[in-house]
Structure formats: C-alpha cells, structure tokens
Structure 1
Amino acid sequence: MLMLAAMALVVGTGGALGAWILIRLIAIATNLFWFGRLSAQSVSITDTTVGLWIIAIPIIGSLIVGLMARYGSDKIRGHGIPEAIETILYGESRLSLKVAILKPLSSAVSIGSGGPFGAEGPIIMTGGAIGSLFAQCFHLSAAERKTLLVAGAAAGMTAIFGTPLAAILLAIEVLLFEWKPRSFVPVVVGVIVAFAWRPWLIGSGAMFPFVALTPTGLWPIAAAAGVGIVVGLEAALLSTSLYRVEDLFHRLPVHWMWWPAIGAIVVGFGGLIDAHVLGAGYQSIQALLDGSLTTRVVVALLVVKAVVWLVALGSGTSGGVLAPLLILGGAAGCLLGHLLPGGPGFWAMIGMAGIMSGAMRAPITGALFAAELTGHFDALPLTVTAAACAYAVSVLLMRRSILTEKIARRGRHILQEYSVDPLDLVQAAQLMTRDPATLPGTMTIATAATFFADGADHRSYPVVDDDNALLGLVSRTDALRWQVGEHPADTSLAETLSDASLLVAYPATPIGVVADLMVDSGVGRIPIVEPGSRRVVGILSRQDLLKARSAHRQSETGRARFVSPSSKAPETAL
C-alpha cells in the first residue's frame, strides 16, 4: 500500500498533465477546424461563421479519427471507460504507449471538429494509460498495475472537472472492482495530487457554479424522486437506442473505418439545426444551470443532442459519454423544473445527478458529482434521492449499464455488484468433516497400497500417530508410486512421509485460505488440526468448499417467516 501510494504521487501528476494537454489539444483542434487559426485559446463553436461548412467539418474530423483507429490502434474507438474496464479485468491492466498518445489526439480531433462528446472518457483512458505505463516500468502484479491505472484515470477526471470526491467514488463504483486499502489509498493520493495541480494548470473552483436556493421539506424530496425516475427512464432509453444504432452500423457493407464519417453526416445536419449540439457542450451545461435557455431551446437541445450523440457514438468514433449525459439529464430536469419549486436550473442539476447514476450505474458518484460540479453541497439529500431512484429504474429495466453493455457484446460479462466472498466469511471448523477416517503411522506401504487398490473411499487420508497427531497425508498417487519405487514393502508410513506432506489448516482458518492451499498444492483434502498438539479434528475437501457457496446462495434466495402476523401478543394485566 505504501509503495503504491508513493508511486501514485507520480501518476497523479501525470494524470493532471494529461488533462491539461487534452484540453489544449481540443482548443487547438477547435480553432483549426472552425476558425482557421493556430491557437490554444478556448473558444465556442457557436461563434463560428462557416455557413454550410458546418456539415462538412465533422465529416472531415471523423475521417481523420477513422484513419487513426485503423492504422494506429483500434483501442482509441469508443467511450474510453469501457475500454479501461476491459483492460483492468482482462488485459492485466497493461495499456500501450500508442494508446496513451493516440487517445487524446483522436479525441481532440473528434471533439474539436464538432463531435458531441465530453473530455472525461478520453482523459480517463489517457490517465489510465499513464498510470499503466508507469507501473509497467517496475516489477508489479496485475492487481498493483490496476491500482496505478485507476489512480491515473481518477487523477485525470479530477483535473478536468475539479471533483476529487466523485473521482474517488467513480474509481470504487466503476473501475476498481474491489474495496481494499491497497487500492483505495493510492487512488486517493493520485486524486489529491491532481487536485493540487489543478489551480496551476486548469483553474480552481466549481466548474459550473450557479445561483439557486435549495428548497427544503418533504415536497422537494418527492420531486427529486420523480425527477430521478424520469431521467432513469431516459437513461434506459438512451442506452437501448445507442446499441441499436451500433447494430445498424455493424450491418453496413463498408469497413468500420468509414463509420465515424457516416455518422458525422448526422452530426453536421444537427449542427445546422442548432450549433449548441456540437462539441463538448460545456456552455450548454452552464446555460441549463443558469436557467437562461427558453423552453423551445431546451427541447431542441434535448432532442437534437440525443440524436447526434447516439449516432456519433454508435459509429465508433472517439469520445466520452459523461458531458452529453449531463446535458440530456439536465435538459430533462430543466423542463420538469418549470413545474417545481426552486427554478429550472436547480432541477437541471438534479437531473444531471440522476442520469449519471442511471446510465453508468454509479449512484454515489452521480449524487456527489453534481454537487461538486456546482458547489451546491446543500443539495446532496436531493441529488442522492434522484440518483437512487434513477439507479433503481435502470437496474429494473436494463441488464447492464451503458458502459458494461459494450463489453458484454464482446462476450465478457461484467457484474457491477460488490459482495463479500463467502469463502472469507466461514472458518474451517464450520464446514469440515469431523473425526475423519485416518491411517495409522505404523501401517506399511504394502498394506497402504493394498488398501487403495481395494477401493478406498477417498483419494487421500491423514496419517496419524498413537495420539491422533498428524504425521502427514498419503494419497492414491503415493501408493502407486511406492509400488514401483525403492522403498521396502515393510517400511511404515511414518518412516516414508516427509515434512513436505504436512499440509494443514486450523479450525479458525478462513476457508478461503484453505482453498488457496488446495490450489497451490494440488491436494484436494486438507487436514484440520488443533494448534500445538496437531491432533486431527477434521478434514476439508473441495466438496466442502462448495457448501459455503451454497449457504451464501441460500441466504440470498431462501425466504422464511419467523413471526406470524396472526399471532397475538401476550396479554398483560392492568
């Protein structure tokens, strides 16, 4: 833990620098594509005056991304977060230098040319690649590389949005697939380092501050639940639509390199309708929170942004999902906010919290992310309410999140539910077979060979002395080896067995430790002995280990009533 935390100091710095570079690359690409100048100054696409070129520019940018994906690395395609998850779970957390370079470049071209994406997915992939590459310079395990990969990803997200708490929670809910000090502490270190660098590289303060009073009482909580349900339905609809669009692209009789350019045609026409749907759309998020958009503009933003984003992302180009989701959830919340106390901007924030939770299956992250983005921590009870309701709707309607569905389509199932391993909850004494059959140490190897040849009930047996203390373990394989070995037939088992056969566990040993012992040794039955005396009190087999799984499953699915509602409470004297 301490070693990884020290290494996370470097990774956190790398993630922050990666975020700064990505923002500058997006600004350079935006200036080149829309204003014909070389500048790293932040600009808005809505200020452009290119006329009908607004249709062609996204197509040109998407052609460049398609070429980079085909002749560079196809890992730059897609959201960024699913690719990071897949690398963690199936790629030993090893990302290449090529991905670390091409992902931010392709994302900058895609977003800068009008792609309706945010920078969070690309920076998570880029920061993760920085952490992975740094980890690969040292002799580390896959689990340790994963920790540094996630630390880099969370650091990049923190540097972009200034949301350290939400970045840590995103790491826990979406990327780490565990809750251990070994991973948690280094991720926190990486995030805090990136947060410390942020004022120098990007800026300080909330990214989307706005003025609003948080309503209090029962009705706002009920309203937040209602908004959460609505945006949860929206998240399910968007996820389903995205993968249907992706299926349509897979049916096209052209190479996937051309798909982003085909999708960009829709993006271009969407920009012709309303230029606000192009690019990351951070100005649109701020406008929704400020409540400065008319209802007609909000409806147009909701519909057109959804269409161009779904088509562009379904085409396989490079871009993120978080910023578009914030716009779409915020637009839905803003429309509902015209009917609720507190103002449209406040409910736009609630909608953002809900849709992030529903789409990404990260309810705690979604609730806190909205509060950190805006600085409205007093709204946390309402963002939590909306996030929980959207999460519940999403779980009921969708088998997987918008992130894990992409991985599942590659034949890999991801379960985003944390539970304690049942093997770590049970001790050997609770599952072992007590007073097992044993063989005396005085038995000769000839007698033992005959015993196994005559059909012994088990493949192996503990060998004990006169006090039932363990001498070793003898198996059918040992008996067969002795028949062709150099040991005299009258040699006793006590004389034959060596200390190498003394594989033991104790009654208080967690059966997870026993399972590891079986895997490492290849022995299917482990004697359980008393500490000190080494007297055999039981034995654990592979079949016994399955009992823990069965008991855990029964606790999840078995239902029973212990108090009957028809029973009467005992009467008491007055």
Structure 2
Amino acid sequence: MFGKFLTDPFRQRSFSSYFTIKGRRSLYLYCVVTGVVSGLGAFLFSRALAWAEYISLESISGLHNTHSGGEYYVSLDPINSLYLGRWFLLVLPILGGLITGWIVWKFSPDSSGTGTDSLIDSFHNKEGKVDPKIPLIKSIATIFTLSSGGSGGKEGPISLIGAGFGSLVANITKAGARARRTLLLAGTAGGLGAIFHAPLGGALTSVEMVYKEDIESDSLVPCIISSVTAFLTYSSFNGFGSVYKVPEIGFTAYKEILFYLALGIGCYLAGAFLIRVFQFIQTWSKSWKFPVWLKPALGGIPVGLVGYFLPEVIGTGAGFLQEVLEGSYSFEKIFSHSIHIFGLENSEAIRFGSYLSPELLIAFCFLLFAFLKIITTSFTIGTGGSAGMFGPSLFIGGMLGGAVGTLAKLILGYDVSIASFVLVGMGAFYAGIASAPIAGMVMICEIIGSYSLLPPLMIVSIISFVLSHKLNLYKSQKNTRFQSPAHYWDMNRDLLEEIRIEDIKERLRNIAVTSTSTLLSYLEEEALKINASDYIVLDEEKKYAGMISLRTNRLFLEGRDLTRNLVLVGDLTDSSILPVQLQTSLASAFKTLVDNNMDKIPVEEAGEYLGYLRYADIISIYFEKTRSSRPASN
C-alpha cells in the first residue's frame, strides 16, 4: 500500500504540486525561506572568517583591531605560541593567494573575482541559474583571501550563498525564469541585508546593481521580504546594532557644502582611477605565462610589501575605518614602524614635514591610504583572488572623505566632523562606481544606524553618480531593462508583430559589413574607427555567409605579429546565424537578436543580401510607435 503510494505517478504529481510557485503569495513564502538560509549562511561565514583572521592576522602576525565595532570578533588573547612576527605579512598574502588560486582552479573557476559580476550576468543571460557549488567554493576561497591579508570585501560570497539557494529553490520547484531571477535577487538581498545589518539597503542594492540607469522594481518587495528575514535571522545569533560605532555626527553648517561638492568630484576621479587600475591588472595578469592557480599568489607579492609597512591597508580595512570614525587613529604611530626600519628619524623629509600644518599631513596620509587600497585591491582580485569590491569601496571613499574633512577643518577654522565626511565618502564612492546612488545612501545610513547624514549623502552620491555614468565596474550591467533578455517579453509584442521589416526598409544599414577574405587583424583596426563589435560577413559573390563577433574572436596579444597575416574572417565566421526576410516581423527579428546575443541581424530577400537591422533600431522604432499611439493630452 505504502509502496503503491510512492510509485503512483498521479499521487507524486499531486504531492509535488504543493511546493510549486503558483503566484505572488507562494513566491513570497519562498523569499522568507531564502532569507532564513541567507541569514544562517552569513552567520556561519562571518564566524569562520573571524576565527581565520584571529589565527593568521592576530596570533601569527600580531595585528589587532581588524574588525569594526559591530562585527563579530574572537574575544580571546592571541595565541602566543603561534606568533611569528610582523615580517610574516610579507609572505602571508602569497600563501593565501596560492591556496585560493588552487581551490578556485581545482573546484570552480567561476568562483574567482568579485562574485557580484557573475550574479548580474546570471540574472541577465542565464535565467538566474547559479551552479550550487559556487557559493561554497566562493566562501572558502574568500576566507583564505581575506584572512591572509588580501584586500577585499566579504559581501561577494555572502550574497552568492543567498543567490545560490534562491536559484536552487527555483530549480526544485520547477519555477520559470522570471521567478528564478526574482529568487536570485532575493537571496542576494538577504546576504547583504544580514552581514551589513541593513535590511532596506540590502534590498535596494540587489535591485539597483543589475542596471546602470534603472532598477528591477518587480523584485523589490520579494527582496525586502528576504532581506528583513535574513537580517532578523542573523541578528538573533549575532545581536542587533549597527556595523560601525560612530560618535555624534551630522550636517552642521551650510559653508561645508562646498567641501561636500568637492568630495563628490574626488569620489568620481578616484573611482575612475580604481576601475582603470583594476581592469589593467585583470588584463595584464591574463598575459602572464604562469599557471592560473599561481597568479593570485603573484598578486600577493605587492600586497605583502604594502601590508608589512602599512597593515591598515590590507584585509577588509574595517578595523582601521572604525578607528578613523572614532578619531582614535594616530598616523604618527602608524608610520613609526616604517620610519624606524628605514632609519628616517632624522631625515630631511621628516624634518621638513614638521614645519607643515598637521592637517595637511593628515590629509596626505588619508589620500595615500586610499591610493594604496586601490593598488592592493586590484592586485588581490584582479589576479584571480576571491573577494568583493564593496568593502574596499567603503575604505577608499572613507579615506577620501577623511582627507576632504581634514582640509575643511583647516580652512573653515572650527572643529568639523571628520567622521561625517568619512561616512559620506563611503556611500558616494560606491554609488559612483556601481551606479547605485540610492543603495549607497541607504546602506551607509543603516550600517551606522542613523539617517542624520542623509542630506549630504544625497548631494555627494548624486554628483558622483552623474559624473561616473561612463564608468563600468560591473561589466555585466545593462543600462536599462529594455536591454536585458530578462525583460524581452515585457515589451508590447503585439505592436512589434504588426510591423514588418519591409515597412522600415529604409532603416537597413551596410556599414559593419566585411568579407570572408578580409584579415582579422585588419577588421579589428577598422572596427575601432566605427566602434563596431559584430559584423555581417559576405562571400566573394556578395552573398550572406554568416556573422562574426569581435567580442569573442580576437587575436591574442602574444604572437600577434606572427598571426596577423594568417587568420581570415572566413575562418571564424558563424554561419549558424540565419538571416531574416523582409516579411519577418520586428518581434521575431528582436527575438533572433536576443537568442544569438548579437547587436544586428542580416536581412535577405530571395537569397539576396539587403542590409542589416540593429538592436538599437528596433528599440527606437518601438518607442516611436509607443509615443505615437498615446492619446494627446488636453
């Protein structure tokens, strides 16, 4: 009888139907479950990282105060028997990079880097699917990276834990792509909301980070549900309260606005520098003729050198940020170790510095720390290490804010709140490089437990965001939802179905067209002149032969001189992309574009190539028809 129940197909379908996502209410229920798992994952990860840092950084290397005031830390005296000395910081990032590189190479190559970019790519291009092993491998690799002094943040693996579980829930319940994407973002929100004690900030970050000029509004309520649940779950074990403990802060005088405006410009300039350095290290490290698993260890060499002299710059940097906010830091003590090693106590530079204003020296030190954080973060993550970029963004922005606040104190002549400038810089810097102004503002307010800085945060974040519109830290971000395959079916397909290509024949182009006999090296040079990436390929008889994408087909830098005259366009032409006809509707042409991940589609009629239609043309036609169909206002 019982065995019959298990093998009866009808009863199996009936039983499993209770767990399917049938509507918004059942989706919200799974968001609660995802939030619980995200909160537990954040709790376990934070505990594991705290113990790893206690052993490697505190006990072995002798560092202290590596956590912010509201984070969990191991409240035990360092293990004296493990102590090797500060010199071990020279080799610790190398060892950590070696272990991280091997783990990632052996078990999950997709677990390297920030983690956030892979989440965004999964949302847009993979229907929200995440390999279940990535969150586990990413967490382990990040623990080794950060506990060995690698410069980065811990938000990457934590958001992946929630996102991975959300994707898993969607697979188990056989949910569609739309529900899976929603659960992916809900899991991300849960992880961020838990670890940063920021339920609203975590939800806003997850729906804002996938676009540069838009938000995923459909997922906002599910993300809030998951984030609040994760926050409550995490706090029930870790305790409530803000991540950073801050003194009295606030916006006190209108004359400080000029300095806040300058801070916004400074965040933009530093953000542009960070992205260029980070992307340069990424590209440069790919050309290194070493095994992939060895590259993070090589990236650990400059990190170790910086960390030996200035350990405040390595790791998460949360402990030093806490000291800056409290005003308990002393740059004289910080640099005393380096001055002693190099015997600079009586040098001309030190004597000259004594004649300068203390505020100028402090501002310079803040800027130096921001610069070094950019370098160490780029080498840690850019060479294949596993860590997030949100943590370093807070540190860099905080140092910029500290520099501007110190100069404001010198120029205005009264006791300006340095901590206020530090906090505003933390939020504005991330708002610029991640194109997430709202999330940056709210996140900072929640991690300090106060909204008193919201006015200057709004001003500086918007300035940084507007100036940084061309910056792109996350390459997988789309500008708006209309550029994302996730919202292809959101468009009015009836409108596009009514329009045939022959109706807009005058829009066809013939600029990005090449032939099978063209050298690939020549095509790469020509593409730079017209800023094109996808080309239509014609044969010698001017017949359509296929397409080629320079995004995936390029000559390698090494050996380029040998191959530049050997590789033809015809050797790499993709003939599987079929042309559309004049009678094809724009809806079908648009779907073909999305399915093939190209920005243009060839058009034929009776075997004769006529031209191509661009992705941007279809979007433009759609909006033209939408506007023309609206009723005129009175």
For the criterion TM > 0.5, the same-fold answer is yes
Identify which of 242, 245, 259 aligns with 2:295: 259
For 1:422 and 1:70, the matched residues in 2 are separated by: 35
Is 1:120 the equivalent of 2:144?
no
Q: Is contact 1:116–1:280 with CA below 8 Å preserved after alignment?
A: yes
Is 1:275 the equivalent of 2:297?
no
CA positional deviation for 1:36: 5.7
Structure 1 residues 237-246 or 177-186, which shifts more?
177-186
- SS of 1:175 mapped into structure 2: coil
Is 1:369 the equivalent of 2:479?
no
Aligned match of 1:12: 35
Distance 1:29 1:64, change over 3 A: same
Aligned match of 1:526: none
Identify which of 615, 621, 624 aligns with 1:550: 621
Q: Is contact 1:104–1:123 with CA below 8 Å preserved after alignment?
A: yes
Deviations 1:424-482 (A, max 9, x none): 7989799979xxxxxxxxxxxxxxxxxxxxxxxxxxxxxxxxxxxxxxxxxxxxxxxxx
Is 1:401 the equivalent of 2:475?
no
For 2:180 and 2:286, the matched residues in 1 are separated by: 34
Structure 1 residues 166-175 or 236-245, which shifts more?
166-175
For 1:423 and 1:151, the matched residues in 2 are separated by: 21
Deviations 1:483-506 (A, max 9, x none): xxxxxxxxxxxxxxxxxxxxxxxx
Is 1:320 the equivalent of 2:388?
yes
Distance 1:219 1:54, change over 3 A: same
For 2:298 and 2:77, the matched residues in 1 are separated by: 24
Is 1:336 the equivalent of 2:369?
no
Distance 1:40 1:167, change over 3 A: closer
Aligned match of 2:250: 214
Aligned match of 1:198: 234
Deviations 1:514-561 (A, max 9, x none): 959x989xxxxxxxxxxxxxxxxxxxxx9xx988833636999xxxxx
Q: Which amino acid aligns with 1:64?
A: I
For 2:254 and 2:423, the matched residues in 1 are separated by: 19
Distance 1:44 1:264, change over 3 A: farther
Q: Is contact 1:22–1:104 with CA below 8 Å preserved after alignment?
A: yes
Identify which of 414, 417, 433 aligns with 2:480: 417
Q: Is contact 1:80–1:320 with CA below 8 Å preserved after alignment?
A: yes
Identify which of 276, 282, 298 aligns with 1:246: 282
Deviations 1:185-213 (A, max 9, x none): 22111011012123222221111131234
Residue correspondences, number: 442
Aligned match of 2:52: 29
Aligned match of 2:562: none
Q: Which amino acid aligns with 1:112?
A: S
CA positional deviation for 1:225: 2.2
Aligned match of 1:149: 184
For 1:266 and 1:41, the matched residues in 2 are separated by: 28
Is 1:383 the equivalent of 2:457?
yes
Deviations 1:394-414 (A, max 9, x none): 11xx3x42122xx4xxxxxx4
Q: Which amino acid aligns with 1:214?
A: G
Q: Is contact 2:128–2:180 with CA below 8 Å preserved after alignment?
A: yes
For 1:272 and 1:181, the matched residues in 2 are separated by: 46
Q: Which amino acid aligns with 2:480?
A: E
For 2:250 and 2:321, the matched residues in 1 are separated by: 19
Distance 1:426 1:4, change over 3 A: closer
Choose 1 or 2 for highest CA Rg: 1
Distance 1:339 1:135, change over 3 A: same
CA positional deviation for 1:32: 3.4
Distance 1:321 1:515, change over 3 A: same
Q: Is contact 1:118–1:319 with CA below 8 Å preserved after alignment?
A: yes
Structure 1 unpaired stretches of 5+? 408-413, 434-512, 521-541, 557-574
CA positional deviation for 1:143: 1.7
Q: Is contact 2:100–2:145 with CA below 8 Å preserved after alignment?
A: yes
For 1:255 and 1:430, the matched residues in 2 are separated by: 50
Structure 1 residues 21-30 or 227-236, which shifts more?
21-30
Q: Is contact 1:371–1:377 with CA below 8 Å preserved after alignment?
A: yes
CA positional deviation for 1:423: 9.8
For 1:110 and 1:43, the matched residues in 2 are separated by: 22
Is 1:133 the equivalent of 2:155?
no
Q: Is contact 2:31–2:222 with CA below 8 Å preserved after alignment?
A: yes
Distance 1:553 1:290, change over 3 A: farther
CA positional deviation for 1:326: 0.8
Q: Is contact 2:35–2:230 with CA below 8 Å preserved after alignment?
A: yes
**In angstroms, what is the RMSD of aligned CA positions?**
3.5
For 1:199 and 1:182, the matched residues in 2 are separated by: 27
For 1:401 and 1:215, the matched residues in 2 are separated by: 31
CA positional deviation for 1:9: 1.0
Aligned match of 1:224: 260
- SS of 2:460 mapped into structure 1: helix
Identify which of 82, 101, 118 aligns with 1:83: 118
Q: Is contact 2:98–2:297 with CA below 8 Å preserved after alignment?
A: yes
For 1:390 and 1:121, the matched residues in 2 are separated by: 23
Q: Is contact 1:220–1:382 with CA below 8 Å preserved after alignment?
A: no
Q: Is contact 2:431–2:465 with CA below 8 Å preserved after alignment?
A: yes
Structure 2 unpaired stretches of 5+? 1-23, 62-71, 332-361, 410-415, 500-584, 593-612, 628-634
CA positional deviation for 1:311: 1.2
CA positional deviation for 1:180: 6.6
Q: Is contact 2:211–2:479 with CA below 8 Å preserved after alignment?
A: no
For 1:299 and 1:425, the matched residues in 2 are separated by: 47
Deviations 1:339-369 (A, max 9, x none): 2263221101111111001111111111111
TM-score relative to the length of structure 1: 0.70
Q: Which amino acid aligns with 1:41?
A: V
Q: Is contact 1:150–1:175 with CA below 8 Å preserved after alignment?
A: no
Is 1:292 the equivalent of 2:328?
yes
Aligned match of 2:194: 159
TM-score relative to the length of structure 2: 0.64
